[in-house]
A and B are shown apart, each in its own frame.
Chain A
Amino acid sequence: MLSFIGRRVLIAIPTIFVISVFVFMLQKLLPGDPVLALAGEDRDPETLAALRELYRLDDPLVVQYAHWAGNALRGDLGISLRTNQPVTELMLAKLPVTFQLAVMALIFAVGIGIPMGILSAVRKGTWLDYIANFTALSGLSIPNFWLGILLILLVSVNLGWLPASGYRAFSVDPVRSIETMLMPAFVLGTALAATLMRHTRSAMLTVLKSDYVRTARAKGLRERVVILKHALRNALVPVVTVSALLFGELLAGAVLTEQIFSIPGFGKLVVDAVFNRDYAVVQGIVLVTSIGFICMNILADTLYIVLNPRLRYTP
């Protein structure tokens, strides 16, 4: 198992190298002199010279990259031009907020997606299956920022049940924190629920046709036991691994959801950075999210093998 993980990590290294080159080269897309863009409003010659020195812009491209990548490897992703804080520090401060949103969204996604997938597979070809499929496809087609707006209109503006904004950290005020996160987590969770539902349905349909399910039924077990104990346990193997791969979708969704509900997380950080032309922050976020996604991929592969004894890796 360890050698399997080690091999996956080794394979990931060239990918991370290519991503780092890509993220570094993003800066070169800036039209005109990058120093002018990086300096923003502050155009005095001293600042420009300091930035030129900081990013080694007079050096050849390869040297610039080596300098940037060397710093990144030590955890130094540059300084935010807007707040003057290190980018790594800024991201670490926002991470718990997005993590809370992601965990709550996953709870919604699993709570809605998996039962819907099971029902849809067990009742294949019935009206329940059609409704579940249509709901899942709608969940995939609905722009989550619109769903967020509709929920604010209904739940906050008309019914006054939940606040539309005003996030508090979980450590400061847990009740208020959960209250403000309920709607955003639901919005983010619905798209993921749709994906989970489709995967659960497809995995359950495959498992329900297998010999061991037929045997379980032939033994006279109750249908409920056959489905929940024999079929679901095996069908969940691919679903669990898919959940790990939903990380990318979760982050992309968080960008928009945090914007609508004014949640000061990772997503809001990247959007604010774009508008403040805080390019070091944008680069840092792209790099870190990509590496996070690669780690989740490795986790998904490992989980797949851990959960499925037939695939247990033999080196």
Chain B
Amino acid sequence: MSMSSPIDRAGPVAPRAERRRSRVWGKLRTRPAALFGGTLVVVFLVLAILAPVLPIPGYAETDWGAIRLPPSLAHPLGTDHNGRDLLSRMIWGAQASLFAGVVSVVIAVCVGVPLGVIAGWRGGWTDATISRITEALLAVPFLILAIAFAAFLGPSLTNAMIAIGLSATPVFIRLARGQTLAVKTEDYVESARAAGVGQLPTLWRYILPNIAPPIIVQATLTVATAIIAEASLSFLGLGQQPPAPSWGAMLNTAKNFMEQAPWMAIWPGAAIFLVVLGFNLLGDGLRDALDPRET
């Protein structure tokens, strides 16, 4: 029979997390702006996921008889300079943009949070070294850093995601470090240590769940920044490469046909705006809902 500490048996984290989830949902439901933002995000996510099964033409399918056609029943959003259906490219572009936004943030969280937690937990030289590197990276303007990474790694969507992820990492290091410093002196953490819970289990079971809320909020807001950053890199030609669609790359092409086919420039920009607005509204709503001062 295995022995477990009193704290293990009490399992204070799970019920607390559950209570917090229901409280957060209860608060979010009363905020129309956050609900609107969440709906926008869900709509774009569903479109992106369903792209392969939707009854739309292929994103690279060209029709030389339908070049730069304005919106019509056959092509609800019109066609581009190669006669490709813009609705199809917009939906496939959603996949690229959302995928890039989410993957970049996953990279930033997976690199930044462990480093931040280690810095806050260990203190001393470990903290000083990680903090100096973080400060240095925070001093490089976000897009300039992403452009520099993308320039040296080479232009592609994968490299753009790595570039954006690495550029967003310092924010998560700093946040996770600050939160860990605040949480590690809490009674339940000290009790766990006193009860003989090892370092890694303490970090995993007591620190991580309790520093999660601000990280979730930051991640939601960073997805918005990452989507704009991916669109910016693709607009500059450093992200998604043709013929694969991405909203930023579509805008880059569209700027050459502004007089002849303005609709080519309108849809991708509107989509970026709506999805980024969605993540920003949702992030703001989550911040308010997770803020204990709001209870």
Interface residues of A (CB under 8 A from B): 14-16, 18-19, 22-23, 26-27, 29-31, 137-138, 140-143, 145-147, 149-150, 152-153, 157, 247-249, 251-252, 255-256, 259-260, 270-271, 273-275, 279, 282-283, 285-286, 289-290, 293-294, 297
Contacts and interface: CB of A to CB of B under 8 A. Distances in A.
A190 to B, nearest CB: 12
B125 interface: no
Contacts of B284: 137
B228 interface: yes
Contact of A141 (B133, B148, B276): B276
B143 A252 contact: yes
A149 B140 contact: no
A29 to B, nearest CB: 4
Contacts of B255: 149, 260
A65 to B, nearest CB: 15
8 contacts: A18-B132, A22-B136, A26-B149, A149-B269, A248-B141, A252-B143, A255-B232, A290-B136
Contacts of A289: 140-141, 144
B224 interface: yes
Contacts of B276: 141-143
A248 B143 CA distance: 9
Nearest to A296: B139
A26 B151 CA distance: 9
B244 interface: no
A149 B258 contact: yes
A18 B149 CA distance: 16
Contacts, number: 134
Given A146-B269, A149-B269, A286-B148, A293 B139 contact: yes
A224 B135 CA distance: 42
A237 to B, nearest CB: 23
B142 interface: yes
Give chain B's interface residue range (CB within 8 Å of chain A): 35 or more
B232 A153 contact: no
A145 to B, nearest CB: 5
Given A31-B154, A143-B228, A252-B143, A153 B269 contact: no
B137 interface: yes
A-B pairs, 4 with minimum CB distance: A146-B269, A252-B143, A18-B136, A248-B141
B203 to A, nearest CB: 26
A250 to B, nearest CB: 9
A200 to B, nearest CB: 17
Contacts of B254: 149
Contacts of A279: 151-152
Given A270-B144, A279-B152, A141 B280 contact: yes
Nearest to B150: A274
Nearest to B262: A153
B277 A143 contact: no
A256 B141 contact: no
A286 B269 contact: no
A9 to B, nearest CB: 14
Nearest to A191: B228
Nearest to A26: B152
B140 A19 contact: yes
B70 interface: no
Contacts of B48: none
A270 B151 CA distance: 10
A43 to B, nearest CB: 19
B112 to A, nearest CB: 16
A285 B238 CA distance: 17
A286 B146 CA distance: 10
